[in-house]
Amino acid sequence: MKEIEVISKFTVYNKITELNAEEQKVMTKAISMLDSAYAPYSKFYVGGAAMTESGNVYGGCNQENASYPLCICGERVALFNAGANEPTTPIKILAIVCHNPKVIIETPVSPCGACRQVISEFELRHNSKIKILLKGDSDIIYKLNSGQDLLPMSFNSSYL
Ligand code: THU
């Protein structure tokens, strides 16, 4: 018998200006995407942005539907936007921001399980880690160095 410990780390920043220039650019795009979110049912607005290794930034935001299960998360729209435009380029930074007019979200949003699985696939597909930046309403930003920190032991193509 042996025990295996999985350690996950993230860094806490107190304001956006503590990030490097590239990170600030992606975070600023994610914040701007909040205005395009289509969330008439939940009123939970999510903006996302993904920067590829070529330096291009692709935005996304959540897209809801009266048929609730069809709703798609903002970070997935951003990732798929990047994947559709640059299918062979690794993604280096993903920023995710949320806003709920009913509640002040002090702590940064944490992506849902489905989005974690999608982030994992993008990392494995390009064999490249994605830096993840998370933000709520306050200035606090969390930074993770890889999707692996959000989803250790992910399901992957090696089982197929
Ligand atoms: N949502 C996201 O966009 N990202 C997440 O990580 C969690 C949830 C969206 C989906 C839906 O439009 C709304 O937030 C409420 O669940």
Mind listing the pLDDT tens digit for each residue in 57-108?
999 999 999 999 999 999 999 999 999 999 999 999 999 999 999 999 989 9
What is the overall mean pLDDT for the chain? 97
Identify whether the C-beta of residue 130 lies closer than 8 Å to the C-beta of residue 144. Answer: no
As separate numbers, helices (DSSP H) first and strands (DSSP E) second, the chain gives 3, 6
Ligand 1 neighbourhood includes 111 CB (under 6 angstroms)? yes
Identify whether the C-beta of residue 19 lies closer than 8 Å to the C-beta of residue 51. Answer: no
- pLDDT of 109 > 90? The answer is no
Ligand 1 neighbourhood includes 73 CB (under 6 angstroms)? yes
Q: What is the pLDDT of residue 66?
A: 98
Mean pLDDT calculated for residue range 103-132: 96
Ligand 1 atom nearest residue 110's Cα? 6
Ligand 1 atom nearest residue 74's Cα? 3
> Within the chain, where are the H helices?
21-33, 74-85, 113-126
* Burial class of 111 by CB neighbour count within 10 A (0 to 12, 13 to 18, 19+): buried
Ligand 1 neighbourhood includes 74 CB (under 6 angstroms)? yes
Estimate to the nearest angstrom the gap between the alpha carbon of 96 and the chain centroid: 4
